[in-house]
Structure 1
Amino acid sequence: MTGTGQSPRARYREQTRAEIKDIALRQLAEGGTGAVALTRIAKEVGLSGPALYRYFDSRDALLTDLIRDAYADLSAAVAEAADTLAERGGARARLQALAGACREWAVAQPHRYLLIEGTPVPGYTAPPDTLDSARAVLGPFLAAFAGAQPSAAVRPVVAQMSVWAEQDTAVGDWARGGVPAGAEGVALAGAVLVWTQLHGAIGLEVSGQFKGMGHDGGTLLTAQLDALADTFDLT
């Protein structure tokens, strides 16, 4: 055994898995999920097809690892922004900083962003734990709406989110982990509305839809979230 607690064989396995994922990410960046091909990866790594399956037993298993890694990195970026704001800044500033962290991560690596927030991969079903990963990204946004005062325009959303939190124990527990008791419906409404605006704007930007339109994606996202903050009377 080595000082890391891993045998040489275990280290080799982890290194090979990492190399496989690096190649898959490059393929993903070059041509999207359709370009991720196990046969091409095996050839580049220097393995036979059957040998590659000892590391990932299917293309879906490889995609699942890439999805988990992407969510972990994105949630870490959002958590870091949340920690920075822990001692300063109001709810509006928190909202903008968290959104900015999401956008910065996505713009830097659009292929990974589109893997988790883009068009679903045909025939692929993500494992249940990726839902928890997605909630880890959105969770820090809940606190921004803890003391919000929603306007009449969004109260129907708040009402539906309140029922959701009551009927779905996992959702209710998740929401209550970030806001005071009784604020779950408002916080969920705010977070879900953030999610739709955030990923709508970022998804269009990283897909190249804003090219030639004469505006910056960050400016547009800031304006959208400021309008949403007004709707919830965030200061």
Structure 2
Amino acid sequence: MTAEPAMSRRERTRSATLDEIKSTARELMHEQGSTDVRFTDIARAMGLSAPALYRYFDDRDELISALISDGFDSLGAAVAAASAPIDDADILGRWVAAAGAYRDWARDEPQRFALVLGMPVPGYSEPTEGMTTEAASRAMSQLSALFVAAAERGELRPPLIREASPELAVCQELKHEGQAELLPPESFQALLQTWAMLHGLVSLEVNGNLDWLTPQARDELFLSQVRLAALTAGLADPAA
């Protein structure tokens, strides 16, 4: 393999400044408890003028897009690292590990979680394609990979709900061309429902709606929800 050429001093300086702008924006989001960060606030925290930031990002939307892309990549890396040590044949174990990592990342990074999978940032217009959608696809494809792996091993059981709208099959083909050969529409629907069950409970917890439960109760509720999702979707054997 041909090694990539080393960056020049100017390129290294620019890359470091880009990273500093993004890390400053994340710190401000954390301090403010909001994803609605402004160029003027970032520039002030860095000791720069607001116009100076436009040498690195065309506008705030481009910065937010970069932060969302980084957030999805961070989430995807956490999920991948958690499930990697689990034997490939242990589909349920990989799902439990991945779900736990999803939860842990969201609790550790509540503002980034809100940024990538929460309410829209005020005034932000997300591009219909590009870095954010590609990063989201990379991160979320890990769940579909579990379903595909289970199907390839002949271990994906019919989901509890087997009636699926024909529209879902159309959407599946548009987003995951060729996947229907392994995942019928009802299993694709179950995949989406599995993510919804995971994300819904994690969102309730991250937003403090489950604070009335003890930490142990929240842990046990989460594990039962993860198991319920697997049973409903056909990832686990009901008799096990």
Scaled to the shorter chain, the TM-score interval is: 0.7 to 0.9
Counterpart code for 1:161: L
After superposition, give the CA deviation of every residue in 1:61-85 in whole Å (9 maximum; x if it has no partner): 1111110101011111222233322
Distance 1:105 1:16, change over 3 A: same
Match of 1:150 in 2: 158
Distance (Å, rounded) in 2 between the aligned partners of 1:231 and 1:160: 21
Match of 1:106 in 2: 106
Match of 2:177 in 1: 172
- Is 1:53 the equivalent of 2:45? no
Distance (Å, rounded) in 1 between the aligned partners of 2:146 and 2:35: 34
- Is 1:67 the equivalent of 2:68? yes
Question: How far does residue 115 in structure 1 lie from its aligned partner after superposition?
Answer: 0.7
Match of 2:135 in 1: 133
Q: Is the 8 A contact 2:187 2:233 kept in 1?
A: no
Question: How far does residue 11 in structure 1 lie from its aligned partner after superposition?
Answer: 1.3
Which TM-score applies when normalising by structure 1?
0.84
Distance (Å, rounded) in 2 between the aligned partners of 1:158 and 1:95: 26
Which TM-score applies when normalising by structure 2?
0.82
Distance (Å, rounded) in 2 between the aligned partners of 1:187 and 1:74: 24
Q: Which has the higher helix share?
A: 1
For structure 2, list consecutive stretches of 5 or more residues without a partner in the other structure. none
Distance 1:232 1:204, change over 3 A: closer
Match of 2:204 in 1: 204
Question: How far does residue 131 in structure 1 lie from its aligned partner after superposition?
Answer: 2.5
Taking only aligned residues, the RMSD between alpha carbons, in angstroms, comes to 2.4
Counterpart code for 1:188: F
Question: How far does residue 160 in structure 1 lie from its aligned partner after superposition?
Answer: 5.1
Within 5 A, what are the aligned runs for 1:8-27? 8-27=9-28
Distance 1:148 1:159, change over 3 A: farther
Question: How far does residue 94 in structure 1 lie from its aligned partner after superposition?
Answer: 2.1
Distance 1:20 1:164, change over 3 A: closer
Distance (Å, rounded) in 1 between the aligned partners of 2:61 and 2:195: 26
Distance (Å, rounded) in 2 between the aligned partners of 1:21 and 1:220: 35
Distance 1:88 1:43, change over 3 A: same
Question: How far does residue 171 in structure 1 lie from its aligned partner after superposition?
Answer: 2.4
Distance (Å, rounded) in 2 between the aligned partners of 1:150 and 1:88: 19
Overall identity of the aligned pairs, in %: 35
Distance (Å, rounded) in 1 between the aligned partners of 2:42 and 2:229: 45
After superposition, give the CA deviation of every residue in 1:160-210 in whole Å (9 maximum; x if it has no partner): 5334324x2x3234x46xxxx332434422321121111111111111111
After superposition, give the CA deviation of every residue in 1:196-235 in whole Å (9 maximum; x if it has no partner): 1111111111111111233543322221121222223423
Distance 1:164 1:100, change over 3 A: same
